Chain A
């Protein structure tokens, strides 16, 4: 399977703990996006990378959140001192940006985070 993969699929943690999620994009894709989706809503943009550079962060991404894409391949999203409001589905998507006016994003299966 050469699609976007995410690990873990599910994570249950206690409030105050740190969690880290991993995303492996489609191999030739240079852009990688993180979104968050709460129940009954569409995904909301968090941040994105072009290769290893983080080019934009949403205001939704508080200073407890950090994302990296160290070698321009996989990415990690870390949440420190988790709060119950962080409970959501965290989605990763990747795309190939080659100078066209649009780029199709392909999503992974997501990581469901539950903060108790």
Chain B
């Protein structure tokens, strides 16, 4: 069974601080997607990483896919209160019909 361990589960920081969220597995994924979810809403896709070692940037957010395609990280620089939300990583296995295996999520709270 493929599992994704996401850490930390909760993170409370002050505006302007940096943070990193980690997503780890013993399984290899063909791709990994990061989502952000607001309360009562569906997840919104932020980025998809496909190649081992790939780094993608989205404004203040930097996403990295591990060389072995088993882990990923999300780094936020100079967090803002608008970054508050639930961040989810989701891996797609090979020949799995595209179904996603989700981590437990990281609940981020950025205080002014």
Which A residues lie at the B interface, using CB under 8 A? 4, 6, 31, 33, 35, 40-45, 48, 50, 55-56, 91, 93, 95, 97, 101-110, 112
Contacts and interface: CB of A to CB of B under 8 A. Distances in A.
B48 A41 contact: no
Chain B, interface size category, equals: 20 to 34
A40 B43 CA distance: 14
A45 B99 contact: yes
B97 A104 contact: no
Nearest to A44: B102
B73 interface: no
A101 B103 contact: no
A79 B85 CA distance: 30
A91 B43 contact: yes
B16 interface: no
B98 A95 contact: yes
Contacts of A102: 30-31, 48, 50, 92, 98
Contacts of A50: 97
B48 A45 contact: no
Interface string B81-112: 00000001010101001111111110000000
